[in-house]
Amino acid sequence: MIVPAEGDFRLQSEADTARLGAALARALEKGEAICLSGPLGAGKSALARALIRTLSPAEGDVPSPTFTLVQFYQGPDFPVAHFDLYRLKSAEEAFEIGLDEALRDGAAVIEWAERLGHHLPHDRLDVEFEGEIEGRQRRVRLTAHGAWRERALDL
């Protein structure tokens, strides 16, 4: 099913989250970012893992980079950097650990992207996780910026 890369989606299971992550991976291009935000435990890391496993299936374990801050993976066409900005004290720290280089050389998946404030990448898809709706069901809102504005997702 082809849908615009913008709007509200309900994720009723971890499989739905993985399906969305895979669709985002297929749409992601060099120089772009997927910016994830939402409360702890909302599904940001699960979506990031699904995205990275789609782009780099040889990766067995895809840990959240909470303590390392960034992990790099080789996709089929370009590298993908997975950033976790939860522990950063300022937006400038993201650039000190290589955000600019990651976007220049490949693409980035950024958890806790709201910590970048007005330094968010221009060509990005914001994926905002809301808390639980009922049980394990989640709502995510996708907001396209720059090159993502006219993009569609193949779910």
* DSSP assignments along 64-102, one per residue: --TTTSEEEEE-SSSEEEEEE-TT-SSTHHHHHTTHHHH
- Model confidence, pTM: 0.90
Across 29-38, 99-108, 126-135, least confident range: 126-135
What is the set of domains in the chain, with CATH numbers? 2-154 (3.40.50.300)
Q: How many C-beta neighbours within 10 Å does residue 76 have?
A: 8
DSSP 8-class letter at 67 = T
User: What are the tokens at 81?
Assistant: 């950097």
The yes-or-no verdict on residue 11 having pLDDT over 70 is yes
* Cα Dmax for the chain: 40
Task: Give which of 116, 58, 59, 60 is closest to 84, Cα–Cα.
Answer: 116
Question: Tell me: the pLDDT tens digits for 12-61?
Answer: 888 999 999 999 999 999 999 999 999 888 888 989 999 999 988 766 66
What are the residues facing 153 on neighbouring strands?
Answer: 3
